[in-house]
Amino acid sequence: MTAASAPGKVILFGEHAVVSGAAAIGGAIDLRARVSVEDMPGRTQIDAFNLTLQGFSFDLISGQLNSAEAENAIRYISAVLKEFRADDLRVSVESSIPTASGLGSSAAIVVAAIAALNSHMDLGLSQKEIASKAHEIERAVQHGLGSPTDTALATYGGHCLVAGGVKPIDLPCLDLVVGCTGLPHDTRTEVERVQSLRRRRPEIVGPVFQAIGAVSSEAVSVMREHRLDELGELMNINHGLLEALGVGTRELCELVYAARGAGRALGAKITGAGGGGCMIALPRPDGKAALMVALEQARGRAFIVRTGCEGVRVETST
């Protein structure tokens, strides 16, 4: 048996504007997806557990699926197996990353699956090739939408700067509190809606994108110098600009303002495409507990993450 794991991610700054060329910053987080593969002669089966939904099993031969919620995860694993013509295998998936929440769960699963197959089948893929192939597969499953940011962070870990391409950037780790609405979002729908607004109102949306890009650029030096008060301020500005683009929802924004109010966060914002999913908040020193209580009282699911974590790794090979 061979197993590999890969991290989820948060977008710290730059959502939506990055689609039009502005800078964005992302960080790998300490929630991971783990994929193991083992030989199963005459049969190919996918098992998955703890994907923040009920466990399920799927048999590729019979097509039997015992959880409709699992169809999304199955598509990614099936695409990886098809790409590498891998069969006669049992593939098991576990993940602590909430699905459909903007935290990179699909990219982590794809990267971990490729890394596990790479080791198990001795494919000889480099990290760069794993990242490239994972992006290609995710784009295919998402009908051309997948971002190279998610798969790059799942592969390399750490932080990355997206500005006309994805490149690693040396930044200190951050402890954040995530507030999850529990409402799935559709990245494609939100991106298309914002891009439609840009086409209809370029003289208004263009400057908003430029402002978001300026926030991302400023955040690099602020993070490096650990100026947390200023970092929180930049998060608040970025959130306001995202709300101007219409990607905030009542549930998301209630969590953001609960974090800043009762939670006394230094800053809080949407992370990802919006329209559902999650927000992130920067706690004060020794303020994580109060922040989590505030988010729970605002009907969110709260948990702590650290950014800048390790990328994909092979964990066992027997």
Q: Which residue has the higher pLDDT, 107 or 147?
A: 107
- The answer to which of 4-18, 62-76, 179-193 has the lowest mean pLDDT is 62-76
- The answer to which of 49-58, 143-152, 279-288 has the lowest mean pLDDT is 49-58
Q: Active-site residue 175, yes or no?
A: no
Adjacent-strand bridge partners of 59: 45, 64
Domain 2-170 identical in fold to domain 175-306: no
CATH number of the domain located at residue range(s) 2-170 in this protein = 3.30.230.10
* Strand (E) or helix (H) holding 194: helix 187-200
**How far from 217 is each of 141, 160, 220, CA to CA, in Å?**
32, 12, 6
pLDDT in tens, 46-82: 887 765 544 455 566 665 555 544 677 788 999 999 9
Query: Which pTM was predicted?
Result: 0.90
Output the six-digit token pair for 300. Answer: 């969110």
Output the six-digit token pair for 83. Answer: 């790409």
The secondary structure of 155-167 as a DSSP string is: HHBSEEEESSSEE
pLDDT in tens, 60-69: 666 555 554 4
Fold for 175-306, please state it: Alpha-Beta Plaits (3.30.70)
pLDDT of residue 148: 87
What residues does each domain of the chain span? 2-170, 175-306
Asked if residue 1 lies in contact with residue 318, where contact means CB atoms within 8 angstroms, the answer is yes
Catalytic residue (choose from 47, 87, 150, 186): 150
Mean pLDDT, residues 119-129: 96
In sequence order, the 6+-apart residues with CB closer than 8 A to the CB of 131 are: 111, 148, 151, 152, 154, 155, 156
Adjacent-strand bridge partners of 289: none
Asked if residue 1 lies in contact with residue 199, where contact means CB atoms within 8 angstroms, the answer is no
Asked if residue 16 lies in contact with residue 5, where contact means CB atoms within 8 angstroms, the answer is no
